[in-house]
Amino acid sequence: MLLIGAFTLALFWIHMSIFWSLGWIDSKILEPHSSRNSKHTWLSKFPLTHYFRNASFSTCPRQLKACRFNFNREPVKELQYPKYNCSDVPECVSVTIKTRHRYDLVRRCIDSIGKFYPGIKVVVQDEVNPMDTSEFSAWLKYLKMNPLIIYNQSQPGVGLGRRQALFMAATKYVLIADDDFVFSNKTNISKLLDVIQYSDAHIVGGDTTDKEPFHGVIRSVWEPRDRIIQSTLPKVELLGRVFHDIIPSYENCYAAEFTKNFFLADREAILKAGSWDPTRPFFEHEDFFLQMRKERMKVIFCSDVVVEHVRTNVFLSILRKKHKDVMFKRLRKKWHVSAINWCKRNFTNCSL
């Protein structure tokens, strides 16, 4: 019996060693929680054999361009001293808002920001040729009464607008926001600033009230079956609610590679990394974080910094859906991939 037990135990450890060498049990799947440091509990949604492969390991060969997303990852490091010599949110941060003539939403967003962060500068990036309506006239009057608002117009396109707003800001950091956001007492920009100042991260994102799993890690996948079915191009998978590690000094903050359209960014670092592609009128967000990953920008997600996302106009959503196939086709061509899959709650469209 002892020999049988010893043989069984040895067999078990052999299998574990094989799984470990393949990277099948090396990544951690986390859910946001409130414990801290050594009290963190790792929560897995899947049995051991369904763990995600280590993002650093893949059958995706280095010579394929899209496979570079899997390599050269570095852990986030905490800093003893702040990056820049600025003390508080109004001094360090400008808010940038991209809109398309939705002035009532922009005013609501700016008013909510002012309640919690008076004195902060706001860059509003609009598109050209706004309709000469009573709403636009009221907007111009609103601008005259608010000298901290910088208003600019550019040609249509979200990628171009976000890039232009980045140039218009003058602070060390920019907070990226949508026009239908509403700030609350849970929108703790001071925490985002503290995290980015005292770490080598370039982007620190928060959550939104719609709770879509739009934060996680990026990986390239090139399975043996893809060589037959999909030719030589790998796939890119955006794994929602999957993180590389915790940030020990900051509760509810995790090392990630993409986050929502609500994040604080190091302005100069993002500009050097390429920022947004001005040719992307829609689905610029996916392209932006693929570009950031390519340039090895470090991203942190903090689940307890939340902004309200109050959608009131479905026109832009309809417009995005109309152009989705064309935009994703161009995105796949740019990044040399056969597919870009969003892997959300059930991970059914991922290679597990």
The tokens for 267 are: 């302005």
Its domain, for residue 305, covers 89-212+248-325
pLDDT of residue 27: 37
Q: What is the pLDDT of residues 335-352, one digit of tens each?
A: 989 888 888 655 556 654
Is there a domain that residue 105 lies in? yes
pLDDT of residue 6: 57
Is there a domain that residue 131 lies in? yes
The tokens for 122 are: 């706001």
Is there a domain that residue 262 lies in? yes
Residue 213: CA count within 13 A, CB half-sphere: 18
Distance CA 118, CA 233 (A): 50
pLDDT of residue 58: 56
Question: Exposure string (b/e) for 59-72, b if CB count within 10 Å is 16 or more?
Answer: bbeeeeebbbbbee
Question: Domain with 135 in it: what CATH number?
Answer: 3.90.550.10
Is there a domain that residue 229 lies in? no
Could you tell me the pTM of the whole model? 0.82
Is there a domain that residue 23 lies in? no
pLDDT of residue 226: 52
Distance CA 270, CA 291 (A): 10
Q: What three-state secondary structure class fits 38?
A: helix
Is there a domain that residue 189 lies in? yes
pLDDT of residue 240: 87
Distance CA 215, CA 302 (A): 10
145: Cα separation from own chain's centroid: 34
Number of structural domains the chain divides into: 1
> Which residues of the chain register pLDDT less than 70?
1-59, 223-231, 313-316, 344-352
pLDDT of residue 347: 59
Query: Shortest CA distance to 277 belongs to which of 162, 146, 111, 133?
Result: 162
Is there a domain that residue 342 lies in? no
pLDDT of residue 295: 96
CA 124 → CA 93, 95, 110, distances in Å?
14, 8, 10
CA 205 → CA 188, 214, 264, distances in Å?
11, 11, 6
Is there a domain that residue 295 lies in? yes
The tokens for 152 are: 């600019």
Query: Shortest CA distance to 43 belongs to which of 32, 52, 34?
Result: 32
